[in-house]
Amino acid sequence: MGVEQLQWLPEATEEEFQAAKSLLRRYRYMSRAAAGLKDLEDLTIKQQCKLREYSDKTANIELAVALILDQGVQEITEFVFLKGNDRQAALNKLRFLTERSVDRKIRRGVISVANTLKDWEII
């Protein structure tokens, strides 16, 4: 994450970092569930609530990832969390970087998302 981004966003706590990481890990499920629920005609009240919840959460996650200032960090965050690739796939994709560098980029992406979601009072 760029220094500029740290200066104006509130810094997420470890608990908020973990909450953001959990949301990022659940992103693909929520995205697919929302798409599936949109296709149903007669939704129960619970399904309507889940559709709204998942739609809101995925939209917020997508925007938070899009707002990551460092392009490399943004791309790896999208690759791992939004596209659902694992760490090994990220290492293969970025084989010119060390494992520690890839892990650092992934962590910086989660921190950026956590800070954004904290700023928006989502976590």
Report the C-alpha gap between 39 and 62 in whole angstroms.
21
Q: Which residues of the chain have pLDDT under 70?
A: 1-8
- Predicted confidence at residue 1, as pLDDT, reads 43
What is the DSSP secondary-structure string of 66-110?
A: HT-SSHHHHHHHIIIIIS---HHHHHHHTTTS-HHHHHHHHHHHH
**What pTM value is reported for the model?**
0.88
